[in-house]
Amino acid sequence: MNKKVLKFEIDLDFVLVAITSSLKDYRLCFMVNRELKFNFAKVEDLHLDPLHGSNPAYFSIYEYGIADGDAEFFLIANKGSEGYLIPEMNKTDYLLMIKNYYDNNELERLIAGLNRIPEIVAAVKVDPKKIKSRENLLF
């Protein structure tokens, strides 16, 4: 009998920036909005259903969309009600996800702007393909 193997590859069409900061999520959004002239607004928490019968996990999330472009920005708390969104990045406090992204020069300016905020310890670009639990970022 022949076996057929189905390979499923997740399409990761976004840019990811890891942010380390001790600020609360609303305070971080205020600082980012002020420094980068963004307008993050709180949306309904990101909800992850558990695999093994434990409690569902909720993660704070903020959204900002550029009016004249397609880019969407999501600021997501890595630590939620039941643990980490990306467990292998447990030193990261927040993730900035950018969908429908534009160019690398803009990304470098954005990361430099984030690093100018004194309360942010570090902001670095992360390759989503290297994250083991990347399926948690698909919403």
Q: Which of 34-38, 45-49, 55-59, 135-139 has the lowest mean pLDDT?
A: 135-139
In a domain, 136, yes or no: no
Using the Cα atoms of residue 70, residue 134, residue 81 and residue 139 in order, give the sign of their dihedral.
positive
In a domain, 109, yes or no: yes
User: Is the per-residue pLDDT at 13 higher than 90?
Assistant: no
Q: pLDDT band at 136, cuts 50/70/90?
A: confident
User: Is the per-residue pLDDT at 75 higher than 70?
Assistant: yes
Instruction: Give the model's pLDDT for residue 95.
Output: 94
In a domain, 7, yes or no: no
User: Is the per-residue pLDDT at 96 higher than 70?
Assistant: yes
Instruction: Give the model's pLDDT for residue 20.
Output: 95
- pTM attached to this predicted model: 0.84
Tell which wins on pLDDT, 62 or 101.
62
In a domain, 138, yes or no: no
Structural domain that includes position 103: 14-48+55-131
Instruction: Give the model's pLDDT for residue 74.
Output: 93
Q: Tell me, what CATH number does 78's domain have?
A: 3.30.310
